[in-house]
Amino acid sequence: MKNLLKQYLPYLVGYKRQFFFAVLGMIAVAVGTAGTAHLIKPVLDDVFINKDIEMLKLIPFLLVGVFTLKGLGRYVQTYYTSYIGQDVVRKLRDKLVSHLTYLDMNFFKTIHSGEILSRVTNDISRIQMVVANIIPDLIRETMIIIALTGYVIYESPKLAFYFLIIMPLAIFPLSKLAKKMRKYSKLSQESTADMTSRLGEILSNIEVIKSNSTQVYERERFAKENQNVFKFIMKQVKTNALTSPIMEILGSVAIGIVIYIGGKEVIDGHMTVGAFFAFATALFMLYTPIKRLSGLYNKAQDAITANTRMHELLDTKPTIIAGTKELTNVIETISLQNVSLDYGDIHALKNITLEAKKGESIALVGDSGAGKSSLVNLLVRFYDPKEGKILINGTDNKVFTLTSLHQKIAYVTQRIYIFNDT
Ligand SMILES: Nc1ncnc2c1ncn2[C@@H]1O[C@H](COP(=O)(O)OP(=O)(O)OP(=O)(O)O)[C@@H](O)[C@H]1O
Ligand SMILES: [Mg+2]
């Protein structure tokens, strides 16, 4: 959680204006909330008990004023924090997609495109939750708690003392639940990714599936992944659903104690009726932000795992490293010297030596899987040879920048690509 804040707080630096308004909004919400509780006091003490008619005329305006402050604050805060969150996510998505386009060919062969899609979309939208909702809500709810707690202590330090020693007791069960939540959220994200990649597999192999009539087999394989998704999401739901009841029961214990002790204070004349009700109202109001905070903590667990998965992608570095020299001359010769290429365990090319000169037309002939495409892949550095060298005009092709290399070599793939563009 701390790491998450540390990672995403720097993003806020670029949004000073929006951040300023967001904080202003949060302060208005916190002050407005404490103000609502405080209004109870004059209503009871001055209006109902002392029958103060002037105060009665004033109260409705104060009430509307306090709620307007709270409402305005919430609006301003929501707008500006969402703005920041959405914009950070937009930048992240750009960064991730651009990063992907530079990764090795090998990366795309070993990771399913469904898995990548899931990371760029699902994982990022979980992270979006953190930046757009969790961090701002965390700050706002904490401010509300501080304002209300401050008010409660101001109104009656003695009563507040009893309440505030019970509150920390709630933290222990909640932190256990949060741990469980993190575990299930990781499992549910992983199973969702598995299911998505299985679907991708089905779609890309549909001809094979249909021609072999293996639909039943595929359905069963998919159903297994699908069942896993269901199982882990339900475990997540169960853990999450336990949080509120636990908080509520603990809250009722605290409030019971407060009513008992506060009632005695009022009966003994140490506290006015208005002060007691204002105090009790502030306590009741504390319940909501505390509950929200614990919910936020659970949501953050979800985002933490998504964040780790996204950084796995961002930290994957291409192994095909571009050179620095521009290939500006026309290609006069291409020569392969003792070139071998492996794809994992598969030996695709072995000791190939070949010389090609400008103006020659060369046909590579061989069975399917003989390695024709592999040889061409080496020229454009989709892969680097395991052994041997590829020289262009007598210079190792690793010396050149990839952009200039690709500008000089026209590559027509045997796969069909369609870009959705003009
Ligand atoms: N990315 C890859 N990962 C693992 N193995 C691969 C990969 N690309 C090709 N192969 C394997 O390497 C061998 C050579 O494949 P290549 O695509 O170069 O053959 P090809 O001569 O172009 O065949 P075709 O005529 O079918 O296009 C084959 O056994 C193939 O299965
Ligand atoms: Mg081929």
Instruction: Give residue 386's pLDDT band: very low, low, confident or very high (50, 70, 90).
Output: very high
Same domain, 232 and 364: no
66-70: average pLDDT: 96
CATH number at residue 255: 1.20.1560.10
Q: Are residues 253 and 400 in the same domain?
A: no
| CB-based burial label for 97 (10 Å; 0-12, 13-18, 19+) | exposed
- Model confidence at 417, pLDDT cuts 50, 70, 90, reads low
Same domain, 403 and 257: no
pLDDT band at 10; cut points 50, 70, 90: confident
Q: Assess if residue 420 is contained within a domain.
A: no
b/e sequence 113-151, b meaning 16+ C-beta within 10 Å: ebbbebbbebbbebbbbbbbbbbbbbbbbebbbebbbeb
Same domain flag for 15 and 154: yes
Q: Which domain-ending residue is among 315, 350, 384? A: 315
| Separation of alpha carbons 195 and 232, rounded Å | 13
- Whole-number Å distance between alpha carbons of 178 and 169: 15
Q: What is the mean pLDDT of the chain?
A: 88
pLDDT digits (tens, 9 = 90+) for 94-126: 999 999 999 999 899 888 888 888 888 888 888
168 in a structural domain = yes
Pocket test for ligand 1, best of 340, 364, 368 (most atoms within 8 A of CB): 368
* % the chain with pLDDT above 90: 53
Domain boundary among 254, 284, 315: 315
Looking at the fold, whether 271 and 382 belong to one and the same domain comes out as no
- Name the residue type at position 38: H
In degrees and rounded to multiples of 5, residue 402 shows phi and psi of: -65, -35
Residue 58 pLDDT greater than 70, yes or no: yes
Q: Is the domain of 223 the same as that of 95? A: yes
**Protein residue closest via CA to atom 6 of ligand 1:** 343
Residue 212 counted as domain residue: yes
322 domain-assigned: no
pLDDT in tens, 259-305: 898 999 999 999 999 999 999 899 888 878 987 887 787 778 778 88
Percent of the chain with pLDDT over 70: 97
Mean pLDDT of 165-173: 73
The answer on pLDDT for 64 being more than 60 is yes
From ligand 2's centre to the CA of 117, what distance in Å? 26
Q: Which domain, by its residues, includes 252?
A: 2-315
Residue 419 lies in a domain: no
Residue ranges of E strands in 139-227: none
Question: How many separate domains does the chain show?
Answer: 2
Same domain, 356 and 307: no
pLDDT at residue 168 greater than cutoff 80:
no
The answer to whether 143 and 29 are in contact (CB under 8 A) is yes
Beginning with the edge strand found earlier in the chain, give each strand of the sheet holding 333-343 in spatial order. 346-357, 333-343, 387-392, 395-396
Same domain, 292 and 196: yes
**Does one domain contain both 107 and 32?**
yes
From 38-47, 168-177, 385-394, the region with the lowest mean pLDDT:
168-177
Residue list, ligand 1 pocket, CB within 6 Å:
109, 343, 346, 348, 366, 368-374, 414
pLDDT of residue 150: 93
pLDDT of residue 393: 93
Of 28-37, 178-187, 214-223, 325-334, which gets the smallest average pLDDT?
Answer: 178-187
- Among 112, 310, 108, 121, which Cα is nearest to 199's? 112
Kind plus residue range of the DSSP H or E element containing 389: strand 387-392
Length of the chain: 422
Q: Answer for the pair 272, 45: CB distance below 8 angstroms, yes or no.
A: yes
Is the Cβ–Cβ distance between 280 and 157 less than 8 Å? no
Identify the pLDDT of residue 266.
93
In the chain, the amino acid numbered 155 is E
248 lies in the same domain as 309: yes
Q: Among the atoms of ligand 1, which is closest to the Cα of residue 109?
A: 1
Residue of 110, 320, 343, 383 to test ligand 1 pocket, by largest number of atoms within 8 Å of CB:
343
Assess if residue 118 is contained within a domain: yes
The answer to the question of residue 328 being in a domain is no
Helix (H, G, I), strand (E, B) or coil at 352: strand
What is the pLDDT, as a whole number, of residue 401? 94
Choice between 162 and 347, residue whose per-residue pLDDT is larger: 347
**End of a domain among 315, 343, 365?**
315
From the CA of 168, how far away is ligand 1's center (Å)?
Answer: 63
Tokens representing 294 are: 């614990």
Ligand 1 atom nearest to CA at 343: 4
422: confidence class by pLDDT, cuts 50, 70, 90:
low
Q: Which helix (H) or strand (E) holds 355?
A: strand 346-357
pLDDT at residue number 135 = 80
In terms of domains, do 256 and 166 share one? yes
